[in-house]
Amino acid sequence: AIAPLREDNLNGLLVLASEDAKRFYPEMGTLYLSWLAQLSGAAISRFI
């Protein structure tokens, strides 16, 4: 799963991976991933 850290400026990506090919699938919701990426982007933006 890949999500941009910020929507207005691509300065990084949040990437989650698994060795299990069935861990992530197209029908999975992305709400939690989007929230986690926004939170991470806000925290990291203070240092960039």
pLDDT digit string (tens) for 12-43?
Answer: 888 888 999 888 888 888 888 888 888 888 88
3-state secondary structure (DSSP) of residue 4: strand
pLDDT of residue 34: 86
pLDDT of residue 12: 82
Q: Show contacts of 26-32: CB within 8 Å, 24+ apart.
A: 28/1, 30/1, 30/3
pLDDT value of residue 14: 85
Q: Mean of the pLDDT values across residues 3-8?
A: 79
pTM: 0.65
